[in-house]
Amino acid sequence: MKERGCGILLHITSLPSPYGIGDMGTGAYNFADFLSESRQKYWQILPLNITCSKYGNSPYSSFSAFAGNPLLISPDQMVKHGYLSEGDIKDLPDFSDSNVAYSEVMLFKKTLFSLAFEKNSVSLATHHEFQKFCSENSGWLDDYSLFMSLKDHLNGLSWGEWPAELRDRKHGALVEYSGLLSDTILKEKFLQFIFFSQWLSLKNYCDSKNIKIFGDIPIYVNYDSADVWANPEIFSLDEKKKPLFVAGVPPDYFSSTGQLWGHPVYHWDVIKEKDYSWWLRRIEHNLKLFHLFRIDHFRGFVGYWSVHSSEKTAINGKWTDAPAEDFFNAVLSRFPDISIIAEDLGIITPDVREVMEKFGFPGMKVLLFAFGKDLPENPYAPHNHRTNCVAYPGTHDNNTIKGWFKKELSADDKDRISGYIGREVNENTIHWDLIRLVMMSVANMSVIMMQDILGLDEKDRMNLPAGPEGNWEWRVSPDQLSSDLAKKLAKLTRLYGRD
């Protein structure tokens, strides 16, 4: 982030595709072309981790911190590389082009993947690239594949409810079930091989277009995950290996009762004793996938909100210290050229700012937070930005610009925005007004959600934090990614020195 640039936030699930969900097929490559044509330098995405309907299909709640989401696998690319035939994908359900219907997509792709595995399973024993992938990723892949196979065998039970010998990973039980479930385990490994092969091909294509992929790492992992099952000692669990203290945030802008995420918090003292090995492996894995990444809920590395697992809301928690400086010294010693963006929204205390300053981590500036009564001093207002930050109109957790303007602002707020811009604003042009503000910011990086570039309203927002349903479903259509729109963005990108 030494020079100016800009990018677009669009998750893979939101891409055009005939298969009911965005994937790593033609729609992804076409979007990379759109980014190139519009002179963008960054493509920001949400986490690539496997999702589940039980957890609202959120990419921030996963069965693994390492495994990729098979729903993002492109059937077209599987045909291209010989894992399926054209005939296997010709009869498609009537999927929506504008939203992801996760249950229908899961059913369709599960059937398709079973067919692909049936066609290719015998050849995997002599498939050099597959065997190499399994060997290089065995540190997480073996546990993940057995974990998912056991979950399937035990009808989806959380691992804390498994028979004690499996819950506690007794050697004899693991050997027995590894043999019993060998086909399912091999299938899980096969899907991960396909996922990462397709992802690295897409990343290489972005490299050829001088586009950097800007990833996202959730700080926490689900209790019901291969990571907690395989590494229980580094998480806050009781004697029966159930969560004891869980993560969240206190009441804030998004929720009056806070957000109770339910992920077990870390035993940082144990992690430190182990020289941060699990976290360093996780970061190394993500550095293969992304050019740079954001760490979600960065402040949790300095002090985290810990709530007893018996609580129903996040109100009755407490801040607990974490060894941030020692941890990031270890990270930078191992990866001296790493590019980390700190998600520093919400309640940020001076000690968090000190850590960010010490290590030079850029933070985030969101314009939708800028126009309250404290506008002159507000750190999110463009005149208070600094070069070492990422400026956004809004993020995936916010309303769209147009939805925010129509539904969340008072008359006084709108007057302040008009006064700041120097003319009266309205709902038809407010998205371009804020896009221009982040483009002209001194921030070295600006990132804009695709929904805001398109001027969409609140029904097209990506996520409503603590919202019960309908999140993570929005998709862009191919005709919305027009050449005219790319040219308009390119013109602004050049005008504000971000080309």
Active-site residues: which are they?
A: 296, 343, 397
| Residue that is written with structure tokens 């002599």 in the block | 126
Strand bridging mode 5-9 / 445-449: parallel
**What is residue 400's DSSP assignment?**
P
User: Which tokens sit at 173?
Assistant: 């039980």
Rg (CA), the chain: 23
Left (φ > 0), alpha (ψ -120 to 50) or beta: where does 497 sit? left
Q: Contact 371/413 with Cβ under 8 angstroms?
A: yes
Helices (H), 157-181: 164-167, 171-180
Ranges of beta strands (E only) in 195-273 are 212-217, 245-249, 259-264
| Residue that is written with structure tokens 């995936």 in the block | 396
> Quick one: which H or E segment has residue 230?
helix 226-230
Q: Contact 260/311 with Cβ under 8 angstroms?
A: yes
Burial classification of residue 454, based on how many CB atoms lie within 10 Å of its CB (0-12 exposed, 13-18 middle, 19 or more buried): middle
Phi and psi for 155 in degrees, rounded to 5? 60, 35
d(CA 296, CA 135): 30
d(CA 173, CA 178): 8
331-340 contacts at long range (C-beta below 8 A, 24 or more positions apart): 331/276, 331/279, 331/280, 331/283, 332/359, 334/280, 334/283, 334/284, 335/283, 335/284, 335/287, 338/283, 338/287, 339/1, 339/291, 339/292, 339/293, 340/292, 340/293, 340/294, 340/295
Half-sphere exposure of 238 (CA within 13 A, CB side): 10
- Other beta carbons less than 10 A from residue 226's beta carbon: 28
| Residue that is written with structure tokens 């994908």 in the block | 89
DSSP lists the bridge partners of residue 5 as: 445
